[in-house]
């Protein structure tokens, strides 16, 4: 009993323990900020590359049909080739997961892309990479 009372009254070493705990908290917070910042940069890069890629399908419409009937008809094969090309030019590590052209009207397209983001701090917890996804759609001439 005397030992417990004596330990309660003895305040030596509390500052060092408090400092050690606070350093761990600050380091964890800095790690989350760093990894979160890296993920945001990667998301912005992927968004920009995906937007450029989806806009590239506007170049694949049938010009003769447009001039004759005023209808937009996108070429799915050429559109997908353009999307892949622009996605790779703007972000090498980006990957096209899904690509669709509206099978009824042939005037709209949709893509789903992904990129891997390397983690720095989260590797301590076994998380080496995080996958980021972006979806984009476009309709040309309604």
Enumerate the domain spans of the chain.
13-139
* For residue 4, pLDDT beyond 80: no
pLDDT at 41: 96
Distance CA 29, CA 126 (A): 17
Instruction: State the DSSP H helix or E strand holding residue 103, giving kind and residue range, or none if neither.
Output: none
Tokens 């070429």 found at: 75
* For residue 80, pLDDT beyond 90: yes
Reported residue count of the chain is 142
pLDDT at 114: 97
Tokens 């070493």 found at: 13
Instruction: State the DSSP H helix or E strand holding residue 78, giving kind and residue range, or none if neither.
Output: helix 76-90
Asked if residue 116 lies in contact with residue 127, where contact means CB atoms within 8 angstroms, the answer is no
Model confidence at 8, pLDDT cuts 50, 70, 90, reads low
What is the model's pTM? 0.80
137 in helix, strand or coil? strand
Q: What is the pLDDT of residues 87-131, one digit of tens each?
A: 999 999 999 999 999 988 888 999 999 999 999 988 888 889 999
Report the chain's C-alpha Rg in angstroms. 27
pLDDT at 1: 61
125 in helix, strand or coil? helix
């Amino acid at each position: 009993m005397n030992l417990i009372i004596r330990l309660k009254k003895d305040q030596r070493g509390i500052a060092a323990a408090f400092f050690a705990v606070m350093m761990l908290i600050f380091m964890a917070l800095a790690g989350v900020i760093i990894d979160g910042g890296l993920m945001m940069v990667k998301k912005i890069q992927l968004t920009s590359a995906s937007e450029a890629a989806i806009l590239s399908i506007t170049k694949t419409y049938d010009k003769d049909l447009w001039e004759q009937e005023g209808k937009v008809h996108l070429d799915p094969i050429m559109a997908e080739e353009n999307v892949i090309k622009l996605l790779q030019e703007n972000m090498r590590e980006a990957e096209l997961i899904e690509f669709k052209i509206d099978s009824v009207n042939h005037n709209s397209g949709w893509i789903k892309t992904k990129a891997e983001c390397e983690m720095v701090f989260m590797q301590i917890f076994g998380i080496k990479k995080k996958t980021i996804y972006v979806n984009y759609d476009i309709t040309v001439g309604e």
